[in-house]
Structure 1
Amino acid sequence: MIEIDGSVGEGGGQILRTSLALSMCTGQPFTLARIRVGRNKPGLMRQHLTCVNAATEVCGAEVHGAEMNSQSLAFTPGKLRAGDYNFNVGTAGSCTLVLQTVWPALLLADAPSRLKLGGGTHNPMAPPFHFLERSYAPLMRKLGANVELTLRRLGFYPAGGGEIEVTIWPAEDKLQPFDLTERGPKQEGFAECFAPALPRKVAQRELEQLGTALGWNEEQLRIGPVRQNEGPGNALLATLVYENLSEVFTQFGEKGVSAEKVARDLVREVRAYQLSEAALGPHLADQWALPLALAVWKRGREATYTCTELTAHAKTNFEVIERFLPVTFLTSVAKAGWRIAVKPT
Structure 2
Amino acid sequence: MKALRLGTRRSLLAMAQSRGVAEQVTRLTGRPVELVEITTYGDVSREALAQIGGTGVFVSALRDALLAGEVDFAVHSLKDLPTSQPDTLALAAVPLRADPRDALIARDGLTFERLAVAGGRARVGTGSPRRMAQLNAWARALGCEIETVPIRGNVDTRIGYVRSGELDAVVLASAGLHRLGRQEEITELLPPDLMLPAPGQGALAIECAASNADLAAALGGLDDLHTRVAVTAERTLLAALEAGCSAPVGALADLSAERDVTEMRLRGAVGTTDGSTLVQLSTTGPAPGSADEAAAIGRELAEEMLAKGAAGLMGERAH
TM (normalized to structure 2)? 0.25
Answer 1 or 2: higher relative contact order, Cα 8 Å, separation at least 6: 2
